[in-house]
Structures are given as C-alpha cells and as structure tokens.
Structure 1
C-alpha cells in the first residue's frame, strides 16, 4: 500500500507494524542513493523515525501532519547559529516519498533523559535544571523575524483555549472537585494575550533532551524534535520541564527558574497561578497525568491547592 493511500485510521493501525515501515524506509534510502545499512526504529514518539547506521535520522511526516513538517524544517534551518550551549540536528536532505515528506538529519549522540532521570543523583538533577534554564533562555532569545511557518497567532490561540477550556478539560475527565473550581479559578487577567513573542518548542520534555556522560557525570548536550514549535508567551514553555521532569520537586524547579532568569521575588503566587492557568489551557493539557506524577497532589481539594504542589518553588 502506498503511503498516499493511507487514511489516518489506517496509519494509526499500522503504527507498530515494523515490516511495513521498514520497507518504506528502505525505499527512502534507495531514493537518497544511500547504500544498504542498519535501520533501527526509535521507540519514543508518535512519528515514524529511524536511525540509519547510527549516523543519520530519517523522520517521516504523514501528509495530514504537513504543518509539523513545515515547522521542523523552518526551525532547523534557522536556529543553528543562535544555539551554542547544546547541539540540534542538521538537515542533510529533504524529500518526498509516496506523497509523504521526510527529513534526513545527522544523528545526535547521547541518551534520552527519559532513560536516565530515575538514576541521576540529586546533584546531577540540580545541575541539569540549571543547564536547562540556560538552554531555554537561549532558545527564547532567538529573533522571531526569521520565522514564518510557526506563527499560530498566539492571541487567537490562547483566547480560543480560554473560551473552550471546559470542553477541553471534559475530554480528559477532570475530577469533579477540580471541575467545580474551574471557572472561578481561571482568572482571565492572568493570561497574557499580547506578550513579547518567543520561539517555543513546547517539547522540553524527557523524550527530547539528550545527555552524554562526561567526567563521570551526565551532561545535557542535545535537543531534538521541533515539529510542534510556535510563537507565544515564553512562560507557556516552562510547563514541559516543571510538569514532566521536576514533578513538584522544589529544589530543581526553583534552580531551573532562577537559572532561566527569574529573580527570587518573582517566584511568587502570581507566577504560580499563571503557570497553573496555562497548564489548564495548554493544547495538550492533562491534569490527571500531572497529578499521577506527583504523589502529594492526589489529595488536593481544589485548583489553588493543586497549583502549590505542581508549581512548588
């Protein structure tokens, strides 16, 4: 079956079919005039991504996710000269195969944070939180006039998220005690509808941060996956590390925010409430998941109480 013939439902059902995707990757290798080599599929992520000889990465984009392809290409083409602290992938080739776009990139060396975090010492976790704050500040300092494809009209986007928050949270089965608190808690005045725009990746999570062991310590060395990048309020991008990595740990959350550029006095209830509101309005918001990763949050009686555990600084 040609990729162009796949419906979205067929694509989802075939997602784990290794032989099907292996054949497609083999076809791309031939199209790129590369010799036969070792193909290994990456285990994380929703896209079809393969390693070729541990030297290159081939990332395939379904036609119904063309916006992801456009964003990743634009970001990777433009950010390399601005990012100095970590490595990001370099595009080696851009092509189309059976109607789907693909990228061939160099493969960054390292181990994903998701495979390391539980075994890191607290000292390594704190050092990482400081490094990540600096890395994110550098990403957020990239001038936005070099981008066109990733502008989602932040004002429209966040306003729409606000107006539809009850329907969105209903999809994720927000607990009744939090549901009852929703309209009163989400104060519109905390939402920055017209911020200074920054390039956000939305993906500073354990699945996209690479580490190499240096001098007997793990060091953050690479960032991957820019398919969900967009322009918006920089504080919206802080949710990934705080909710998916630090999980309510005060020491790492605080050191991350200070390293990013916040002053001690800015780590206050106003910032906490804004971040909690953005967590509710986030396009992939899943409050139940955040709570499941934070043992102290499971017995919260309302959103204010919950915010103190999720955004503990």
Structure 2
C-alpha cells in the first residue's frame, strides 16, 4: 500500500503496525542517503516518529490529512533557531516528501521525557522544574512573530467559534450533566480576550513534549519538542498545559510556575482564575473528564466555579 492511498480511517487502523512503518522509514532514509540500519520508533503522539543515526536524528512523518502540521512545524523550527537560550529545541536537518506524505528530519534532543519521571520526583525537584518551565514559556512568548505566516489565524474568529460550539463539544465528550447545565452560565464573553497581543503558542506544554536531564545531581528542564500544533494567540492559553497535566491542583507548584513566568501576586485573582477555567473549556483539545478524573476533589465539583477553585488554586 502506498502512503498516498491511505485514508484517515485506514491510518487509524494501521498506525500501530510497526513492521509497516519500519519499512517506510527505511525507504525514506535510503532516499535521503542516510543509513537505515538503526531505526527506533517512538510511540507517543499522533504522528509516525523514529530515531536513527545512533540517536542523533529524528524523522517525523505527517499523513497527508495533517499536512498543516508539517507546514507549521517546519516554519517554527526554521524561525526558532538561535532565539531560545534556556532550553534546546530540535535543529532542522532536512525535509521532503515520500509517496505524497511530508517528513521532517531534525536533531534528536538528549534526555528523559518528563512524563516518564514526573511521578517519581520529589517536591523540591517538581518546584525547580515548575520554575524552569515558567521561564521557558515566557522566553517562547517573546519570540518575534514576524515570519510565522503559516501560524497566523484569526484568533477572534477561532475563540468565538470555540465559544459557539462549546456545549456540543463537551456534550459529545460525555461531561457530566451538572457541569453541562452550568456551562453557558459560567462562560462569559468578557473573560475571553478576542484581541490579545499575539504570541507564539504551542497550546501543549505538557510532560509529553518536555525533556529533562540531570545537572549537578538535579533534574533540569533542557528541551522542548513538537511544534506541529503551534499558532498565534493569547499567551494565557499556553499556561493551561503545565497546570492541568502536571501540577494537579498543587497550589505551591502553580504559584511558582506563574510567578517565574512573570505574573505578580496582584494579578493572581479570581478574575484570572476564571479566565484560565474559561480557556480550559474553550481549548481545542479540552478534556474536562480527564482533568477531573485525576483529582478526587475535582471529580466532586458541582459547577465550574467550584472546579476552577480546585484546578487553579492561584491565590
């Protein structure tokens, strides 16, 4: 089967077929004049991703129905080079196409994915990493957006469409009735910034995309990967990932993170808390059921005001 013949439905059924993808990746590497002898697949994420070259390089393959991801990631990698100092980002080596699908070849960053070690860390280690992450996201948000043409979206149109479709979206995900009934009352448009100073957003600063290494015996945030879903918009939208996927209502970690990002105590108010909860509801990959399942108190929340206080204890 040629890649160009694979439909969205077929991709879902064969995504886990390592032997098929092994052969495809080897053919691409031969085409690009790399040795295909030491490939190793990564299984996190939505794309087909392999390490090769003695773990020096990564090749990432984009299904034709996800070509927008290829275009965005190529543009971000090209524009980030030399602009991020606190952590490493992959360096673009080459890009091309094979049987109608695009691919990127980039350097492989060394380290452990944070998802693999987070639960084993001490509170002190988690605190240090939360501070690292706040500073790192701030640096990404200071990257000039000139040249990021493929990341331009109509933020106002995007966020208002999320607002318009929020009830249907969360209903389809099976959010419990008490929260669904509260949805339209809780989400108020005055908490939605429709004309922000646009920043480079990943929307996904989660432990699946963060790399850490030991430095002088301590874990240090050293790398950020995966820029396929980047776009431009309100910086506060990017603060959700660490809080929801890592900090699990830990007030100390959340406050250290937000303060290192640059927010002052006077800014950590109930208004800001409601904005974070509102963006959680409107996020394009929002999964309220997952967030509540990770926390006993959150699972008992009767409405979004209660849930916001549990998920975002910022003051």
Give the alignment's TM-score, normalised by structure 2.
0.98
Structure 1 Cα separation of the partners of residues 227 and 36 of structure 2:
28
Partner of 2:189: 188
Partner of 1:29: 29
- Matched length: 313
Partner of 1:135: 136
Write the mapping of 1:109-124 to structure 2, written as runs, cut at 5 A.
Answer: 109-124=110-125
Write the mapping of 1:135-214 to structure 2, written as runs, cut at 5 A.
Answer: 135-214=136-215
Partner of 1:264: 265
| CA drift at 1:152 | 1.7
Structure 1 Cα separation of the partners of residues 40 and 154 of structure 2:
38
Q: Give the match's secondary structure for 1:84.
A: coil
Q: For 1:173-230, what per-residue CA distance to the aligned partner results, in whole angstroms no more than 9, with x for missing partners?
A: 1111111111111011000000100000112001000011111111100000000000
| CA drift at 1:258 | 0.5
| CA drift at 1:18 | 0.6
> After TM superposition, where is structure 1 displaced by more than 4 Å over at least 4 residues in a row?
none
Structure 2 Cα separation of the partners of residues 80 and 134 of structure 1:
18
| CA drift at 1:144 | 1.1
Structure 1 Cα separation of the partners of residues 204 and 74 of structure 2:
16
Structure 1 Cα separation of the partners of residues 306 and 70 of structure 2:
40
In structure 2, runs of 5+ residues without a counterpart are none
Structure 1 Cα separation of the partners of residues 253 and 300 of structure 2:
23
Give the alignment's TM-score, normalised by structure 1.
0.99
Structure 2 Cα separation of the partners of residues 269 and 225 of structure 1:
32
Structure 2 Cα separation of the partners of residues 90 and 295 of structure 1:
41
Partner of 1:38: 38
| CA drift at 1:265 | 1.2
In structure 1, runs of 5+ residues without a counterpart are none
Partner of 2:217: 216
Structure 2 Cα separation of the partners of residues 216 and 81 of structure 1:
28
Structure 1 Cα separation of the partners of residues 204 and 165 of structure 2:
23
- Asked if residue 104 in structure 1 is aligned to residue 105 in structure 2, the reply is yes
